[in-house]
């Protein structure tokens, strides 16, 4: 499938937007009940009494929704080989029920793998933004991506 995105298709400065996705109270509570049952993620009154100031989704729910949105947005149509991890995951605003979120991706840098000629690395930021374009959750990621032309000069 030559039309899949490969490493060569990502250039520093590239910006893309994925989504939107509507966030519901039901999914916030369901995620929290399974993975992060802190009261501010489960109950409006407990959220209001917390630093969150109201019901707020788990930070890990934000990250998981972001993952789903970038998967649908480009990863499932790419030669992605996964990621070794994330840096600077920041939970900047509460994930509120009823908001619509989008993901803004920005390519920071790309480099070819020295040890694997079929692989390149793409360092990018992912920002989950709300209806007012304010960042809810941000992170810096390094993706491993297959090269269309293994070993060629970039």
Binding site for its own copies (CB under 8 A): 34-38, 40, 50-52, 58-60, 63-65, 67-68, 71, 75-76, 80-91, 144
Pick between residue 80 and residue 105 the one whose CB is nearest to its own copies.
80
Provide the token pair at 114.
Answer: 């020295």
In terms of Cα–Cα distance, which of 146, 144, 135, 136 is closest to 28? 136
Q: Angle at CA 130, nearest 5°, toward 126 and 135?
A: 45
Instruction: Put the strands of the sheet holding 80-82 in their side by side order.
Output: 15-22, 100-112, 119-129, 135-146, 80-82
User: Could you tell me the smallest distance in angstroms from the CB atom of residue 77 to its own copies?
Assistant: 11
Which residue lies nearer to its own copies by CB, 9 or 36? 36
Q: CB of residue 80 vs its own copies: minimum separation in angstroms?
A: 7
Which residue's CB is nearer to its own copies, number 43 or number 60? 60
């Amino acid at each position: 499938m030559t039309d899949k995105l490969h490493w060569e298709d990502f250039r520093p400065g590239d910006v893309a937007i994925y989504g939107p996705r509507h966030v519901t109270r039901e999914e916030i509570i369901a995620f929290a009940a399974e993975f992060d049952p802190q009261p501010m993620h489960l109950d409006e009154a407990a959220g209001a009494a917390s630093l969150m100031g109201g019901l707020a989704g788990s930070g890990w729910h934000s990250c998981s929704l972001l993952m789903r949105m970038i998967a649908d947005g480009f990863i499932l149509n790419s030669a992605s080989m996964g990621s070794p991890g994330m840096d600077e995951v920041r939970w900047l605003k509460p994930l509120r029920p009823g908001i619509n979120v989008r993901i803004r991706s920005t390519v920071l840098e790309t480099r070819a793998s020295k040890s694997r000629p079929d692989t390149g690395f793409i360092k990018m930021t992912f920002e989950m933004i709300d209806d007012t374009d304010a960042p809810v959750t941000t992170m810096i990621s390094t993706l491993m991506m297959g090269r269309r032309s293994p070993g060629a000069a970039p």
